[in-house]
Amino acid sequence: MLENISSVKVSGGWHKQYTHSAVSTHCTMRFAVFLPPGASESNKVPVLYWLSGLTCTDENFMQKAGAFKKAAELGIAIVAPDTSPRGDNVPNEDSYDFAQGAGFYVNATQAPYNTHFNMYDYVVNELPALIEQHFPVTSTKAISGHSMGGHGALMIALKNPQDYVSASAFSPIVNPINCPWGVKAFTGYLGADKTTWAQYDSCKLMAKAEQSNYLPMLVSQGDADNFLDEQLKPQNLVAVAKQKDYPLTLEMQTGYDHSYFFISSFIDQHLVFHHQYLSA
């Protein structure tokens, strides 16, 4: 059952927050939705799902990205889930990059995280079904995200190409099995057997992709990002894309960092990119 906890008009549409009891994560989850002006049961609109990064919630993108004006113009709904399960009964660590706030969009197999940390199932299955049932949207959807959420967006699109028309990311973790953030998260959620990690690694997934399932992808990366060389490594994904002739565009942006100043500078470009496929 959905509970509306906030509602505010913006750019002619509505930004709303909801909570609900989630089956996949066995806890109360919160998400935000932007409905553009004119969205109704007789005029359903496509959806862009946005996945946020480490330490974030549904609020970071909605409050800082400045996406509403262009989304309203293009007639795109935006849905932003939280980055992890939360609550007193949900396991947590005194660490910004693991447990609450850092779900990494996987299905955990290791106790005590495997009961609640099933963000992959939540984002891929439960949340879209809920959105399509309760809001004036079509089943046509794209996916995007930032940092850990960029990892989630690209990985989920590569694993489920039939479900999305396009994917994009800002500063994504493209090769988590080969960076400190990913190794820590995957070890904790999936265990020490690294053969199980590849199913959530965009580089590994793209290497196995069949051409009939290719999706258009756009990645924006700032060259002044402090995490660029150690954690993000976009060149690893570009190398796979070149080998596979995968339709990936990487745009390196001079002087930009890892923050929402960067995202807000190029979010319109990403919305226009998705619109051409959402409206096809």
Given a cut of 90, is residue 280 above it in pLDDT?
A: no
268-273 long-range contacts, CB within 8 A, separation 24+: 268/67, 268/70, 269/218, 269/220, 270/144, 270/168, 270/170, 270/218, 270/220, 271/48, 271/67, 271/70, 271/71, 271/74, 271/76, 272/70, 272/74, 273/166, 273/168, 273/216, 273/218
Q: pLDDT tens, 77-92?
A: 999 999 999 999 999 9
Per-residue pLDDT, 212: 97
**H helix count then E strand count, the chain:** 9, 9
Rounded Cα distance between 271 and 280, Å, is 14
Nearest to 230 by CA among 183, 168, 169: 183
pTM for the model stands at: 0.98
In the chain, the domains with their CATH numbers are 1-277 (3.40.50.1820)
258 is an active site residue: yes
Query: Average pLDDT for residues 215-223, to the nearest whole number?
Result: 98
Per-residue pLDDT, 144: 99
Q: Are strands 248-253 and 167-170 parallel, antiparallel or unpaired?
A: unpaired
Out of 15, 146, 151, 258, the active site residue is 258
225 is an active site residue: yes
Out of 82, 84, 225, 270, the active site residue is 225
Out of 52, 84, 144, 147, the active site residue is 147
Alpha helices in 106-201 (DSSP H): 119-121, 127-134, 148-159, 180-190
What pLDDT band is residue 1 in, cutting at 50, 70 and 90?
A: confident
What tokens were used for 61? 């993108």
Given a cut of 90, is residue 13 above it in pLDDT?
A: yes
Given a cut of 90, is residue 28 above it in pLDDT?
A: yes
Per-residue pLDDT, 184: 98
Q: pLDDT tens, 101-150?
A: 999 999 999 999 999 999 999 999 999 999 999 999 999 999 999 999 99
